[in-house]
Amino acid sequence: MAVIFWLDLFGTAVFAASGALAAGRKDLDLFGVLVLAVVTAIGGGTLRDLTLGLTPVFWIERPVYLWVASAAGLLTVVLTRTALLPARLLPLADALGLATFCVIGAEQARAAGTGPGIAALMGVMTGVAGGLIRDVLTGEVPRVLRRELYATAALAGSLTTVALLELQAPPSLAVWCGLLVALALRLAAIRWRLSLPIFTHRP
């Protein structure tokens, strides 16, 4: 559907911007910025398609995703040099990308004929894998492994989307509702440092 396609492009741009911002924090050159922007934007979807056997993967079939990711990364560089951007822009951009991709991934996996549980899992993979690769490449502890709710937010958004699809809701409505759930939970986790119970073992 057109709404989901444009939402997918939006998520691509937002995640690419988060990758470019992460590159800027590590003083990478312009090539490094483009690599991080593109990998962050398409990493999760690529793993989803390969896992589900959907080949060629989405960005080979529709190169517009590569162009959008590259343009968003370069635009982020320009904006950071010409305007004063908030210090918390990176986690906010990352939260938007996470929320968008987890629900898009769940919807696309369900459309490919997977069961509800696998569709929710593919949504989480789509949402977190790009950011995971970005953090590993920049030498950061991946957000998915930190205390604040991250993968949990993606799972909540994915489950909401899949549940509504199972109830025969229109795909666009299911995606928007799931996005709002994931985004609200992730922003709340950032604001109030919400986390799951922590396991500590001291022999």
User: Containing domain of residue 183, as a range?
Assistant: 2-192
**What is the per-residue pLDDT across 160-201, written as a single tens digit (0 to 9) for each?**
999 999 999 999 999 999 999 999 999 999 999 898 887 778
Within a domain: residue 199? Answer: no
Within a domain: residue 198? Answer: no
The tokens for 125 are: 């993979």
Within a domain: residue 200? Answer: no
Within a domain: residue 201? Answer: no
Task: Please give the tally of structural domains in the chain.
Answer: 1
Within a domain: residue 79? Answer: yes
Cβ atoms of 109 and 122 within 8 Å: the answer is yes
What contacts 23, CB < 8 A, 6 or more positions away?
32, 33, 35, 36, 37, 138
CB atoms under 10 Å from CB of 184, counted, come to 15
Alpha helices in 62-115 (DSSP H): 64-82, 89-111
**What is the per-residue pLDDT across 8-55, written as a single tens digit (0 to 9) for each?**
999 999 999 999 999 999 999 999 999 999 999 999 999 999 999 999
pTM: 0.92
